[in-house]
């Protein structure tokens, strides 16, 4: 706060703080409090709301634990969101290292611009484009057959393959940018010292670069995992009948069944259990929130 006052003065600082507080309170805190309160109330006709039947209970949460299908879908969502996070790291780490330590500084802005171009298109259009690409008679199968890579067409839209491809494409940049910032902050002399001491390239990455990048890895992993687990557009367009996503169940409760109470309970279960999962992973890798905030 003192830095803001010294830099912008009391007028602009008040504006910044007010807008931030408005965003947090009106767009984040109050809607979540409203959903949280509704998650403990039963789904009733309008005439019974506020009546003797409108009491607080855990019935909406019990609905989840009494449904083996919903439990299976939830843990499938957690599992494949973790797979998406790992794949994003495998893709983003070499790119981040190349941009930070290998590429000429004059071409880095151009590469970043090219990476940003897909973000100018809405997520719906990007997901629908992948629906066309991955379809049975789509360009991907035709290209692979033309190159002789495969003999018969592959049904990409079965299982979770198409969902994983769509989520990786959509959220890989959220892994790339924290990794790039982390690698860029590493002193190049440390890499050169490791190489001068005879360490192979893989040991340099394992013992020098990756430990330094731990906050960037944690930040990117948390963002990719939470965005993937909470995604609705990509699974809706690319999922098959045997690859349901947990957010699709929440959407069905709220918009198809019009049961916002049970949908709110499911939404908070997703938020709480994902937070627990992320906290557990942070504890295992000994990463703190202060490291991610960097």
CATH of the domain at 80: 1.10.3720.10
| Residue 11 covered by a domain | no
Looking at residue 8, its pLDDT comes to 66
pLDDT at 217: 87
Q: Rounded to two decimals, what is the model's pTM?
A: 0.85
How many domains, the chain?
1
Is residue 198 assigned to a domain?
yes
Domain around 188:
67-293
Residue 203, domain member (yes or no): yes
pLDDT of residue 167: 92
Q: Does residue 27 lie within any of the structural domains? A: no
- Evaluate whether residue 24 is within a structural domain: no
DSSP assignment of the chain equals -HHHHHHHHHHHHHHHHHHHHHHHIIIIIHHHHHHHHHTTS----GGGTTSTT----SHHHHHHHT-HHHHHHHHHHHHHHHHHHHHHHHHHHHHHHIIIIIS-TTTHHHHHHHHHGGGGS-HHHHHHHHHHHHSTTSHHHHHHHHTTS-SS---TTSTTHHHHHHHHHHHHHHHHHHHHHHHHTS-HHHHHHHHHTT--HHHHIIIIIHHHTHHHHHHHHHHHHHHHHT--HHHHHH--TT---HHHHHHIIIIIS--HHHHHHHHHHHHHHHHHHHHHHHHHTT--HHHHH-
Q: Tell me whether residue 33 is in a domain.
A: no
Q: Output the pLDDT for position 20.
A: 85
Low-confidence ranges of the chain (pLDDT < 70): 1-5, 7-8, 289-294
pLDDT value at position 4? 63
> Is 26 among the domain residues?
no
pLDDT at 94: 93
What pLDDT is attached to residue 289? 67
pLDDT at 294: 58
Residue 291 pLDDT: 62
Task: Flag whether 20 is in a domain.
Answer: no
């Amino acid at each position: 706060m003192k830095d803001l006052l010294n830099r912008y003065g009391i007028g602009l600082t008040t504006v910044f703080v007010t807008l931030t507080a408005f965003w947090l309170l009106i767009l984040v805190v109050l809607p979540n409090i409203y959903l949280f309160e509704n998650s403990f109330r039963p789904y009733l006709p309008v005439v019974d709301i506020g009546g003797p039947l409108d009491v607080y209970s855990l019935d909406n949460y019990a609905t989840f634990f009494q449904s083996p299908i919903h439990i299976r879908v939830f843990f499938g969502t957690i599992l494949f969101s973790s797979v998406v996070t790992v794949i994003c790291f495998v893709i983003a780490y070499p790119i981040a290292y190349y941009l930070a330590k290998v590429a000429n500084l004059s071409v880095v802005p151009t590469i970043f611009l090219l990476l940003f171009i897909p973000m100018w298109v809405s997520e719906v259009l990007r997901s629908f484009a992948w629906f066309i690409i991955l379809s049975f008679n789509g360009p991907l199968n035709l290209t692979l057959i033309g190159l002789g890579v495969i003999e018969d067409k592959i049904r990409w839209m079965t299982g979770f393959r198409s969902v994983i491809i769509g989520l990786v494409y959509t959220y890989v940049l959220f892994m790339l940018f924290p990794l790039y910032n982390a690698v860029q902050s590493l002193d190049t002399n440390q890499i050169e010292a490791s190489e001068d001491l005879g360490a192979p390239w893989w040991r340099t990455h394992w013992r020098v670069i990756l430990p330094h990048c731990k906050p960037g890895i944690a930040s990117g992993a948390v963002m990719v995992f939470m965005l993937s687990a909470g995604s609705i557009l990509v699974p809706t367009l690319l999922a098959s009948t045997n690859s349901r996503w947990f957010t699709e169940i929440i959407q069905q409760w709220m918009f198809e069944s019009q049961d916002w109470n049970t949908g709110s309970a499911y939404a908070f279960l997703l938020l709480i259990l994902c937070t627990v999962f992320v906290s557990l992973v942070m504890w295992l890798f000994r990463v703190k929130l202060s490291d991610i905030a960097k």
